[in-house]
């Protein structure tokens, strides 16, 4: 039996859900500046596949790495952790 590598998982907030079966997830990290020591917010955006089309903007979601589904989609929705209020 062949062992498969572990897939990366990310937790972020849905910033756009206007596409069909696709969402844009923003992950925000606090990174310490190497020289000045100040904490800076870094944002990374991922385009993820949402099969049921049930995510809305502001939802906190977990996404997982997957095979390329289109030019920009390399992630898929695993679960919705928290709905937007």
> Residue 20's domain is classified under what CATH number?
2.40.50.140
Q: Which residues contact residue 62 at a Cβ distance below 8 angstroms, ignoring those fewer than 6 apart?
A: 9, 10, 11, 77, 78, 79, 81
- The answer to whether position 78 is within a domain reads yes
- The answer to whether position 4 is within a domain reads no
Mean pLDDT of the region 70-76: 97
The range of the structural domain enclosing residue 39 comes to 9-82
- The answer to whether position 51 is within a domain reads yes
Q: Which residues contact residue 27 at a Cβ distance below 8 angstroms, ignoring those fewer than 6 apart?
A: 10, 11, 12, 43, 44, 45, 46
Question: pTM for this one?
Answer: 0.87
- The average confidence (pLDDT) of the chain is 95
Mean pLDDT of the region 2-18: 91
Report the domain count for the chain: 1
- The answer to whether position 59 is within a domain reads yes
- The answer to whether position 1 is within a domain reads no
- The answer to whether position 53 is within a domain reads yes
């Amino acid at each position: 039996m062949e062992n498969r590598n572990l897939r990366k998982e990310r937790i972020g907030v849905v910033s756009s859900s206007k596409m069909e079966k696709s969402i844009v997830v923003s992950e925000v990290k606090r990174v310490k500046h190497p020289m000045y020591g100040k904490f800076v917010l870094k944002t990374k955006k991922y385009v993820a596949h949402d099969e049921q089309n049930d995510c809305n903007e502001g939802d906190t979601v977990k996404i997982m790495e997957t095979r390329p589904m289109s030019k920009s989609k390399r992630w898929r929705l695993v679960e919705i952790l928290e709905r937007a209020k």
